Amino acid sequence: MINSSKELFEQNFNQSPTATSFASGRINLIGDHTDYNYGLVMPTPLSLGIEVSITPSNTLLIEGKTALFKESVRSINAPVDGSWLDFVTGAINVFYEEFPNSSKILKNGIKLAISSNLPANSGVSSSAALEISLLRAINKIENQDLDNCKLAKLAQKIEHNFIGTMCGLMDQMVISSGIAKKAMFFDTKNGNIENVSLFKNHKFLIIHSGSSRTLSKSLYNLRCQECQGASKQLSIQNLSEANKNMVDSLEGVYFKRASHVISENKRVEICLSALKNNDPIKFGEKMFESHFSLSKNYEVSSKLLDNIIEKSQSLNILGGRLTGAGFGGCCIFLINQNDCKQIFDTLSSYFSDIKFVDLI
């Protein structure tokens, strides 16, 4: 299990933290690159996650300890610099902007320690988990009216304004509000959420491909812009409003991106029914389709991810796809629950760098 951030805090600062909070990572079962197009998604929380311990200080510094990144210290008022402390600066700022009547004690300085068993830059939302755990810890100190939906939106604001990824709301929402072992069907347009139990005799196996995401921030933001460009050309607010005829009127990159978005929304709907009707075969079929749409039309896969998914099609697997933003990171497979070891071992014999992440 996770090495406690509390112990790390005590070892480094010779005092106990004032607040400790945990947030899990997430895996997206299906519905990628649809959330910022106001479409449909279906993620679920992981058991792995990030724990944060914090204490206010009077040093006017952020003093951070973690085995994950370089030990770091900087002024509490310093501008963002691309380091992990930007998450701390972001969390403090968005929280106090939302709750101007709180004590603002953390504006005088903060000591913190972070522990994690969630792989970073891998498509399992380590950044949203860090944002949510920081905001939860701050709220333990400030004790404000922070419901799960507000928590998710504040975390998204950190990502937009302090990290620079113009993400949708999927990750922050499932991490703040999702239920373990349930898929969270989330309609990002109207905010409706339905939590549905996962399959009884089938499991989702999550593996790390062995290559972390590269250039993901700039390419992710480029995809968002391309979708906005396509929507503008169609005179609609967002691509989830487009129908097949409208998409067929587009060309080139706009056609490809829009084709992915409208077909992925449809696949999420079909997978929701498949889950409710206990139809893992249909669910799996849509996972493979999702992968190839993300690869060919959305162009967010990699040679390695494509090779892993193509290989998995010849094994006893119901479905498989890249998951999350793409450009490297994790894959998810739907399998018979007894086949986990055999499937993992077979995949490992072809792809020596893959690592087991979770089975849910």
Q: Which stretch binds ligand GLA (CB under 6 A): 27-35, 80-88, 105-113, 275-283?
A: 27-35
Q: Which stretch binds ligand GLA (CB under 6 A): 33-41, 49-57, 78-86, 141-149?
A: 33-41
Pairing between β-strand 72-75 and β-strand 319-322 as defined by DSSP bridges:
unpaired
Count of H-run helices and E-run strands, the chain:
11, 11
Contact between 168 and ligand GLA per CB under 6 A: yes
* Nearer to ligand GLA among residue 41 and residue 52 (C-beta): 41
Total of residues contacting ligand GLA (CB under 6 A):
12
Contact between 287 and ligand GLA per CB under 6 A: no
- Among 8, 32, 173, 322, the residue binding ligand GLA under the rule CB under 6 A is 32
Is the Cβ–Cβ distance between 171 and 125 less than 8 Å? yes
Chain centre to alpha carbon of residue 319: 20
* Nearer to ligand GLA among residue 192 and residue 249 (C-beta): 192
CA distance 333 to 308: 11
Residue with structure tokens 């399998």?
Answer: 335
Contact between 87 and ligand GLA per CB under 6 A: no
Contact between 226 and ligand GLA per CB under 6 A: no
- Among 88, 130, 152, 170, the residue binding ligand GLA under the rule CB under 6 A is 170
Contact between 227 and ligand GLA per CB under 6 A: no
- Among 86, 131, 171, 358, the residue binding ligand GLA under the rule CB under 6 A is 171
Contact between 45 and ligand GLA per CB under 6 A: no
Q: Three-state SS string across 95-141, please?
A: HHHHCCCCCCHHHHCEEEEEEECCCCCCCCCHHHHHHHHHHHHHHHH
Is the Cβ–Cβ distance between 54 and 110 less than 8 Å? yes
Angle of helix 148-158 relative to helix 85-98, nearest 10 degrees?
A: 130
Token digits of residue 211:
């290559």
What residues numbered 296-325 form the site for ligand GLA, per CB under 6 A?
A: 324-325
Is the Cβ–Cβ distance between 277 and 293 less than 8 Å? no
Q: Which stretch binds ligand GLA (CB under 6 A): 29-37, 199-207, 266-274, 307-315?
A: 29-37
- What does the binding site for ligand GLA look like in residue numbers (CB under 6 A)? 28, 32-33, 35-36, 125, 167-168, 170-171, 324-325
